[in-house]
Structure 1
Amino acid sequence: MPRKNPRSSKIPTPAGKSTGPTPQAPALYVAVGASAGGLEAIEAFFSGMASESGLAFIVIQHLSPDYKSLMVEILSKKTRMKVQRAEDGMVVLPDNIYLIPPKKNLTIFHGKLILNDQEHVKGAINLPIDIFLRSLAEDQGEKAVAVILSGSGSDGMRGVRAVKEFGGMAMVQSEESAKFDSMPRAAISTGLVDFVLPPDEMPDRLLSFAKHPFVAKAERSETAISDEDALSRIFSMLREKFKVDFTFYKPSTITRRIERRMSINRIDEIRDYVAYLQKYPAEAATLFREFLIGVTRFFRDREVFDLLKQKWLAEILDRAENRETRFWVAGCSTGEEAYTLAILAKECMQASGNFRDLKIFATDIDRDAVQFAANGVYPDSIAADIPEGLLTKYFYKRQDSYQIARNIREMVVFAQHNLIKDPPFTNIDLISCRNLLIYLQPLLQRKVFEFFNFSLNLRGLLILGTSETTGEMSDYFESLDHKCKIFRTKGLVKHVKDGIMLPHAPEVRYRDLGGRFTGLRREQQGAGDRVLERFVDVLTEDYVDLAVIVNEQMEIVHIIGDTEGFFKVPSGKLSMDISKMAAKDLAIPLSTGIQKVFRKQEPLHFTNVRIRHQDGHRMIDLRIKPLPQKKGQEALAAVFLEEVRKMKPSDPAQAVQTYDLSREAEQRIKDLEQELQFTRENLQATVEELETANEELQATNEELLASNEELQSTNEELQSTNEELYSVNSEYQSKIMELSELHNDVDNLLRASLIGQLLLDENLEIRRFSPQLVEIFKLLDSDVGRPLTHISHHLANVDPIKIIEEVQKTGRMSEHEVRTMDGRWHLMRVVPYAVGPKIFSGAMVSFVDITRIKQAEEDLRASEEKHRGLFETLPLGVVYHLADGTIFSANPAAERILGLTQDQLKGKTSMDPRWKMIDEKGANVPGTEHPSSIALRTGRIVGPVIRAVFHPDRNDYIWLSITATPLFRPGEKIPYQAYAIFDDITEKRRVAQDYQTLFKEMLNGFAVHAVICDNIGKPVDYRFLAVNPAFERMTGLRAEDIVGRTVLQVLPNTEPYWIEAFGQVALTGEAKTFDNYAREQNKHFRVTAFRPAPDQFACIFADITEQKMAEEEVKAAHDRLLTVLDSINALIYVADMETHEILFMNKYGQNDYGDGTGQKCWKVLQNGSGPCDFCTNDKLVDAEGKPTGEYSWEFHNPVTDRWYACFDRAIQWVDGRLVRLESAFDITDRKRSKRDGRGSDQEGDHER
């Protein structure tokens, strides 16, 4: 049955506060408890925990009071969450880690941390984890999470119980992953832990748990799980498996427990959880334990026990003068309360000297809890609950646990018992049932109160939990103390509803779970029905007062009837031997008869057995019969005892043997008396010897007891100190590892830094040096410890010892640039070695190789000189500005261009009102918009831009082309300087304006275009950028219609050839001139295209339409001339006067010489290899190259063997070049006639 304490009325729960949780309240409060070996576990836990989980973490450790914990520094390296030591009154916030400080106990109240000094009482153990977990459970309830990590002892075990009692979650480190497993094992032994995991797996499960809907929701509904069918199936499974029906238990408690298990198993729907229960039987057992969470401890609510001892306990013990006193602890859980009552009763009896036979029946439905209680072994954390005097008196220390004393243990009988289902105990003087009834519905509560009323003797006491009351059953009970909830039965009519009422002991009782007083043995429980069936076969034949079933070991198996006067429970360890439990006069006949019956398997009957009774003597008829037995069944016998109201002779009709008990007993007594006398004589001598030895042993024992108590106290202190030392050692180990890593880092840094490092003590003895130092000093590893003055060095013109001694004397750092013998430069830095504020011991000397830097400085100096010369002679003006715009440098060109001196420029800014600047439209430009100001403000290069500034000497504006560039330091995004470069373009601008005027007034058309290419770079179109008026007049296109548009938009019929041709000019920069016929304008243009800028081309257009028309007329005339020449019956040809190539030969000549066009005239006409000796070219033009007129002459052509009369003239050919036109008439016949007429006249061949 579930057992649970109510929330304390002194500490309100979050649900009970008048105001809701603050917006910053954590989703869960996670208490992390750790001791020895816990540092590594804590680091692993927080290394995997998200830094923004919404959870708050409170770390509780066993800390040494004399040691400053380093946990804040250590843990801060493992997480980004804020890590801080807890302070009194500090509000717990999410995503924060709070650490318990040394010498303090930590609690929490309304979400605020409370610090209290630890009480150092000799022999008492301080358990900070349990203290905080109980406080957290009471303050935060279901928002509490307990995490138990590595540690020795059992601290945290009770805290886990408290957290689970109030509905929280418990998570424990697995034993195999813990360096010290005592604390995890103790927590796990409660059976209440939700997760057992290694520390590195805990964060994932914890975050998953925190995000579950049942955990994360702000307000809890009492009907969060409303599926009655699913709940019924769960109850049915538990009843079938554990024989417990939870149907009438308090719904809110049941549903909260189910929701908690669903959130732990990451299940959202109740039906899915039902399927999960069916699939995993272990979960059913866990849920069963969750319903039965029993939280108890020794002397819980001590004021209740103090009041009971002071007022009523002695009265109860005195009342039972001639009978056994009986207490009943219902729902005893793990037995702490039952043992507490036993200790109080023992103390009360010792104080009054009135010792009574007391039996305390402690029952619970949880078998595991009952078995734990019966063992009587508890963790050492119970020392915090039990007064020191009682702890040492009634408990024995066994390693890390306590064993209950035997005399207390024998007073308590533990039994598994269902308070609702099983019959109640009878003749009870005191019942304690605390914090159980609040989890039952009113129907079951009433039934339990009826049981209690039935069980209690007149004036018997009933003790309930502090939040429980008798309610509607108050007519049966009188309230003795309202606060402590102690009641007394009024002794009204006792009855039990539902027909459940037995006048004898309950069916099941345990002592150490070793046997059972009345009923079946544990291992025979399953066969109970078959035993009863065999027993009833015999019982129907004989009706008797008392019947007992025994086995061959003479152990009682079952009892029917009233045992009063026949049997008695002996003190000490419970034994089921019938001869030991039977009345003295019955022991011999029972043991003799039972053995005989089992041996012979025949019935046996003893008559007129006399036994003593409080009223005198009683005569008993004893019969023993073997029970029918089948194969495989245990041999049993039935014993019948019947009181004989009137002496009767044996019945001869009975087919059984009759035995005279008195006569046999007398003979046996005589034999035993003789044996007893002999034994007594021997025993007396032994006793005398033992008494002497016993006195000595008692004295020794008292000394040992005193020593043992001191040793126990010392051992506890040592154990506590050992845990603290281990925690300190763990932190030291962590620091040692850090120091070792730091040492390795320093070694690697020294090796990798390429800097010579030398560490000296106050006597200039070498403590440490880096490998690079051997370049300066002749050092070996064995030189550590030697004075530096004994070591030679390679430095030139410097004494390092004097420098080091000076630094030691002044305590100030010193730097020197030194050179070695081989010409390398080093920066020698000597720093005093500080061991405290203004306390120095030794020196640190470092040598940084600056050879490259020195060389770079020389290079830089040369470069600066070169650039300074360039800066000074550069024709462009250069001005440097600081970040605030102030000018700090300007070159001579800037002074010349601006007409200002260095002094007039330096210190000025663009905001100076004397600096007037205008843009190209003539508008004033404010100082903030000067190019340098923009570059400093935006960090971007500005320009080139055209601006005019006023020149004082010219008393006019000059125009400048300005580019401003920002300068950045490495890694910075804000300029620290800027410089402006500018050129005086006043004259260029005037020329440009003249060109612009010319551009507008020139007769030829002019246009600028931008080429457009496709994705492979091929020109596909071009755009008009500018055209002049002449272009508009020539083409009839207006600038406003075409500028900005493409040629295909303006002239869609433009041939791709022209786009390709113009595109090549723009892409290659190769100028071209060609004639173009514009079909749209029906005009001829001569176009010259060139590239003024990348991806652009400009065209100059000349209208050559009239020229073309004239050329066509000339060509027509030329063609007509050629036609005339072809018709003349003479050789006529035209030859280039420079190249001698024939440009034209008429048909007459072609008949004689073939088509000689394109060939040399001297080759075609003379078959020569070069110009003719008689070539007339130089005779056809004068010294100025002008034609001189016609030249005529005759000659004989050997090729044709004919005579010709030639007429040469220099003319301009159709293409404009100067050519020789020669007409040669064949005069051979004339020559021959003349020769024939004159005979052999010899006339010259070349007569002109």
Structure 2
Amino acid sequence: MTDSLNTEFEALLDYIRRSRGFDFTGYKRSSLTRRVNKRMQTVDIQGYGNYLDYLEVHPEEFNHLFNTLLINVTAFFRDRPAWEHLSNEIMPRILQTKDSEELVRIWTAGCASGEEAYTIAIMLAELLGVEQFRERVKIYATDMDEEALNQARQATYLASELHGLTAEQIEQFFEQNEERYTFRKDLRRAVIFGRHDLIQDPPISKIDLLVCRNTLMYFNAETQSRILARFHFALRDGGFIFLGKAEMLLTHSNLFTPVQLRYRIFTKVAKPNLRDRLLLMAQTNSEEEINSLSNHVRLREAAFESGPSARVVIDANGSLSLLNDRARSLFGLTVQDLGRPLQDLEISYRPVELRSCIERAYNERVTINLRDIEWQSPQGEITYFDIQVVPLFDLVSTILGVSINFIDVTRYKRLQEELEHSNQELEMAYEELQSTNEELETTNEELQSSNEELETTNEELQSTNEELETMNEELQSTNEELQTVNDELQRRSEELNRSNAFLEAILTSLKGGVIVVNRNLHVQIWNHKAEDMWGLRPEEAVEQNFLNLDIGLPVEQLRQPIRDCLSGPVDGVSEVVLSAINRRGRNIQCRITCTPLIGEQQQIQGVILLMEEC
């Protein structure tokens, strides 16, 4: 049964993608099914297959479905402490790296109805001043939801939607028109809105700050990785990315490193590995194409990483370009050292002076071999290396850099020393070394297993956190909808109260008694003048059969005039004069005018009896 439901749901997503170009296959299934089920309940449909048929017959339903799936929860300066840190610490760092006339490029991905984009505009206008802002700032705001983008382009908001702004900011950056506030047009020109699919469309490039808050949490882990690779391509070197409070990037340290983890602000790692760069260049949603493009690259990287000898590659500019796992473990290097000049690293002079060897390899265009180089590890262990400095050339013999191989010859060195004493001592030393290596491998495997378990647990916790944040935003969206309905009901109640008060005033002001009966002759209205004439209170008369009332009026004589009104023309009016006794016991002549009560579509719903003393 579950497999059948999953198949029907995937067929529904495929139909949405083919017919409207919205690809939701990369979104988390738990969130998607919850939102689709909510919409199906609204239109009273059971089963995803039936809902697909409904979409085919009612294309206008797509807009309602997209408004339900694309949760647009946003506000001005949402999570204000994070924005204050961005304004006080991050933006000044960005501005310090730029010339006084150089453009500042910002991208807010998943901008919804625009509050976030205008928040950035307000922040930069306060930092730079209005004139500098107009000349230097470009803010690109993108989203998949065209309806939300149209609202954002208008830049008009209710007073209740500006609660995140101070009174000074509202006065400085908005123009009031009756009950709505419009963002200043001269600053609005710096904000460019456009439809953009993070999964399918290529990223905007050369971005200084990328704001994407509480958007990644709706995607599954695989789609998040593809989007983050594109974000990495979009940012300049040293650029920053500002995420939502449920988004951590702990498993993407090769692309971004934390600047302020509390506020989810990260900076771009300068040089990703080659596979990441190929993924960025591919800009495709097809896993087959990505795997085809990078399959041989992964093989080369795996071979390089698993080499038994420590190996580093220096480019022609003298910067560290590549290093394998053995080199990292031996010399204490990390991926953060990639791109640093060789001269700034300890490996340039320990265990041997490498710069002169590199220069010689460049000049002579031959491999330089160094034998039995002694190196002492931080733990005090003595290791011997044969070092090879190999120049690297392209197809036209242009020097690209050098590969430096550290071949561990410690064991052979020790074997030579032990061989001088005895074969027996050599065998013992070899067995001890072998045992040590096996223990080290066992320890490494145990540590690797523990590390993988910790990573799995962390990813599960991250996924749970993102799911909770998603549900929180859904609840917030539902609460806003309920508040809107409540406001409308309150307004309708006030209108009804005014109408009832107005009708009551009319009935009270009439000099004659007014009695309204429905088609079953049950009293619906009994005004105060009727009470004064016949001594019967409204609560005693309403919903009673008029002909059964015991009052001083011979009501039985009104049966026929009332029936004539109910069955006659809509403009038919009859009048009779009857002798009666009022509530004070006085004999009176009472003129009674019977008029049809006209309802919708000119249907007679009852009779109005107007009674006056002659």
Kindly name which structure, 1 or 2, has the bigger radius of gyration based on alpha carbons.
Answer: 1
Structure ranking higher in helix proportion: 2
> Structure 1 length as normaliser, TM-score?
0.24
> Structure 2 length as normaliser, TM-score?
0.47
